[in-house]
Amino acid sequence: MHYHQYYPIDVINGPGTRATLFVSGCEHQCRGCYNQSTWRLDSGHPFDQGMADRIIADLSDTKIKRRGLSLSGGDPLHPANLAAVSALVARVRAECPGKDIWCWTGYRLDELSEAQWQLVEQLDVLVDGRFEQALADPALRWRGSHNQRIIERPRRQACGNSQDQATLTASQKESVSC
């Protein structure tokens, strides 16, 4: 996997003070995407052990406390990124107890493959769906367009038949539990 940018201290992408990793690689090609330079899988820098160690160290920092890790891009759920992102998420769970993990993806919940679900079920929050220019709204928090949803604790069993309910709820408040 490659990554484009890493913000060791970030108060924009998710709640509280966080560490944020922007990975490389996205196949959605949304019109109006602000991050087109991240589309290519080999853009940016190789994500290596040293970078993973740095993220763990930042999340463990007691001087500047981070609430958690944000994973954005590009698309962390691009099939080519799943192994490396899953390994990072597993390390955060094992070595940084109490930290939350948010992830932004262009895939909708109902489009996820089995392999993507295995990662998604380890997350605290998934912001799903492509950026839709016609539904864009700069006043939205943590998402760019109204079709995107902030889904707390995305789990297969709970989400299986609740797409209509989740969409309805998302239009009424900013985050949904599915």
Residues that bind ligand SF4 (CB under 6 A): 26, 28-30, 33, 35, 38, 73-75, 106, 130-131
By beta-carbon proximity to ligand SF4, the closer residue of 26 and 69 is 26
Strands 2-10 and 149-152 turn out to be: unpaired
User: Closest CB to ligand SF4 among 38 and 116?
Assistant: 38
In angstroms, what is the minimal distance from the CB of 25 to ligand SF4? 9
Instruction: Please say which residue, 10 or 58, places its beta carbon nearer to ligand SF4.
Output: 10
Q: CB-wise, 68 or 106, nearer to ligand SF4?
A: 106
What is the rounded end-to-end Cα distance, in angstroms, of the chain?
Answer: 30
Assigned token pair, 64 = 């500047």
- CB atoms under 10 Å from CB of 31, counted, come to 10
Q: How distant, in Å, are the alpha carbons of 15, 62, 149 from that of 103?
A: 12, 23, 12
**Least spacing, CB of residue 157 vs ligand SF4, in Å:** 26
Residues 65 and 19: their CA atoms lie apart, in Å, by 10
Q: How many residues does the chain have?
A: 178
In angstroms, what is the minimal distance from the CB of 100 to ligand SF4?
A: 21
* Nearest approach, Cβ of residue 148 and ligand SF4 (Å): 9
